[in-house]
Amino acid sequence: MNDILGKKLEATRIKKVLPHINGSLLDVGCGLNQLKIAYGEGVGVDVFKWDNVDLVVEDTAKLPFDNHSFDTITIIAALNHIPNREEVIKECYRLLKPDGTMIITMIPPIVSTIWHVLRKPWDVDQSERGMKEGEVYGLTKQQIVKLFNNQKFKLSHDEGFMMNVNRLYIFKKI
């Protein structure tokens, strides 16, 4: 079955994130790397070999870039799929330039669970890659803010979109 709804959701997320990207971009958990393609430059990394990925790594908490390499780092609808979230956020802190920006999108656990269960039979993300140990179906606002506060980020913007089912979080490096 064609994943038209999934592609529309991805396009909506990208449209929401694009105006907030500034300068050099790193997209962690980039999937098909559509955000980088839409932005026109940057690097997309993932632990799974999707089409268009710039760099496949074993662990996104250990990236081969110099300190302060990026102005903006994004994790679009993927933070819940990263088992070692705290270590990855710490790595993003290292990679961000002073006053750099982290942009996250996420849906809440209940919505995510329903979404993934309904899509499982025809969703490549679920049928080929599956859910690994430590992955969860979505994260709450409280969980996300706590993760980033623990790594010296400050929430500067938070808004719902798509009838408040999705959330956009923008964190600044302190």
For the entire predicted model, the pTM comes to 0.89
Per-range mean pLDDT, top range of 20-34, 96-110, 112-126: 20-34
What confidence category does residue 9 fall into, taking pLDDT thresholds of 50, 70 and 90? confident
Show Cβ contacts of residue 112 under 8 Å, excluding neighbours closer than 6 positions: 80, 137, 138
Residue 2: its pLDDT value, please?
42
Supply the mean pLDDT for the chain.
Answer: 89
Mode of pairing for the β-strands spanning 96-106 and 166-173:
antiparallel
Q: Which residue, among 62, 73, 66, has the nearest Cα to 99 in the 3D structure?
A: 73
Tell me the per-residue pLDDT of 110-153, one tens digit each, with 9 for 90 and over. 776 666 666 655 555 554 556 677 777 789 999 999 999 999 99
Architecture label for domain 4-173 = 3-Layer(aba) Sandwich (3.40)
